Amino acid sequence: MEPSPGGGGERIERSAGGVVVRSLAGVWHALLIRDAYGNWGLPKGHIEGGESLREAAAREVAEETGLTPEEVGPKIATVDWTFRKGRAIVHKYCTFFLMRSRFGNTVPQADEGITDCRWLPVPDAAARIVYKNTRAVVLRAGEKIGEAGW
């Protein structure tokens, strides 16, 4: 976390995550997680000291899904949003990377409120996500699969 240049109880947080994909019967699927509120999204989380965005993204995917990506590909996008945390206003930036796995066994991180993990065809995965900016990340990931040479 870092204070915002504007001060006034504002701060900036940075995190990283991944769109993990795998091919099933020739169709690319993306891995989604469901949070404690029943919302579907992507695995993501904070950056620990000394980690690069790419390292943090891979670690968060492994922690939240129990699945270690075999390959971390290109950056897909950085999305941002603002929310209130107590009396502070937080502006959060999350950078997502395309990741690949040939394996599908997942273990949701229950102690972090993750209730389910599910593989869905990329367009269906995007449609399942509530937040528009995250939905766009999944669709962009679908476009980047070919660029990654997978």
**pLDDT tens-digit readout, 15-69:** 999 999 999 999 999 999 999 999 999 999 999 999 999 999 999 999 999 999 9
**Could you give the CA distance from residue 10 to residue 127 in angstroms, rounded to a whole number?**
32
For residue 98, the one-letter residue type is L
Q: Put residue 146 in one of left, alpha, beta given phi > 0 → left and psi -120 to 50 → alpha.
A: alpha
**Could you give the CA distance from residue 148 to residue 146 in angstroms, rounded to a whole number?**
5
CA-based nearest residue to 141, from 62, 86, 81, 61: 61
Predicted TM-score (pTM) above 0.85 = yes
**pLDDT tens-digit readout, 81-114:** 999 989 999 999 999 999 999 998 999 999 999 9
C-beta separation of 25 from 104 below 8 A: no
**pLDDT tens-digit readout, 109-139:** 999 999 999 999 999 999 999 999 999 999 9
Domain harbouring 90, CATH code? 3.90.79.10
Question: Is it the case that residue 7 has pLDDT exceeding 90?
Answer: no
Number of domains in the chain: 1
- Mean pLDDT, the chain, as a whole number? 93
C-beta separation of 22 from 102 below 8 A: yes
Domain span at residue 130 reads: 2-147
